[in-house]
Amino acid sequence: MKKLFYIVIIALTLSTSCSEYQKALKSEDVAAKFKLGTELYDAGKYAKANRLFEQIVPKYRGKPQAEKLMFMHSNAFYKTKDYYIAGYQFENFQRSYPQSEKAEEATFLGAKSYYQLSPVYSKEQGETIEALEKLQLFVNKYPNSQYLPEANALIKELDYKLEKKAFEIAKQYNQIAYFESSDYEAAIKAFDNFLIEYPGTSFREAAMFYRLDSAYRLGINSVKRKKEERLEVAKGYYDTFKRFYPNSEYIAAANKMNTEMTAALQELNTDTKLNTKT
């Protein structure tokens, strides 16, 4: 009986709460909507709170409560993972209340909203670039912020995503190339650009190896009149790779390429000497 009693009490409480909420939604009492919306927000019921906030935001413009309402309204979108609107609303809050004690938090959460929209590295990275810009603006504006460690961690994560995207694009040139000089030249150029744009990348070793591999394939498969020059370029990439990564997991493959290129160059030199004597 006691258990049944508690179930009835809970059911009545929920029923009363629901009826109160429905009543508030239909009411013209702006203050009642604000009060209940705040209570729901504080209780973590952000979707319900925001339905009330949406009805009263226009009516509170210019009033003392507007600042609090606008922050709750923005944050409720963030909490319900509606990141597009959250980012937009937080930016509105910053413009409207630049001196607010919540301005720093709003700026960070606005930037983090864009971070949440960043897709996996294999997709178009427009949102990632935008998120990086927003986070960097936050770091510049609030260099001593309590959110700085998290902001820097998010920037690092997004930077890595762009690096991986660029590396995989360059690697794809290498892996799908058939013997067409333009295919291998495109791969070499892509890796050159990648290494210039991301000098401290964690993919540097792999990028230098695949650049060597592309140059090796181009040289070995070239027509005779272009072969020597291209092999010399490839051997230069080999020397650079070996100097930086003598113990690389790729070194055995690189050494094999070098052996083949050396033999090919020797063969070219022999042919040249024979032709000269003739």
pLDDT for 143-181, tens place per residue? 999 999 999 999 999 999 999 999 999 999 888 866 556
Question: What is the rounded average pLDDT of the residues 95-120?
Answer: 97
Q: What is the 3-state secondary structure (H, E, C) of 122-190?
A: CCCCHHHHHHHHHHHHHHHHCCCCCCHHHHHHHHHHHHHHHHHHHHHHHHHHHHHCCCCHHHHHHHHHH
Contact residues for 200 (Cβ-Cβ < 8 A; gap 6+): none
Domain boundaries, the chain: 177-278
pTM of the model: 0.82
Question: What is the rounded average pLDDT of the residues 234-253?
Answer: 98
Question: What is the rounded average pLDDT of the residues 93-98?
Answer: 96
Please report, rounded to a whole number, the percentage of residues in the chain having pLDDT higher than 70: 89
Asked whether the predicted pLDDT for residue 2 surpasses 80, the reply is no
Rounded to an integer, what distance in angstroms lies between the CA atom of residue 134 and that of residue 113?
A: 10
Range in 10-24, 86-100, 102-116 with the lowest mean pLDDT: 10-24
Asked whether the predicted pLDDT for residue 224 surpasses 80, the reply is yes
Question: What is the rounded average pLDDT of the residues 68-94?
Answer: 98
**Class of 177-278 in CATH:** mainly alpha
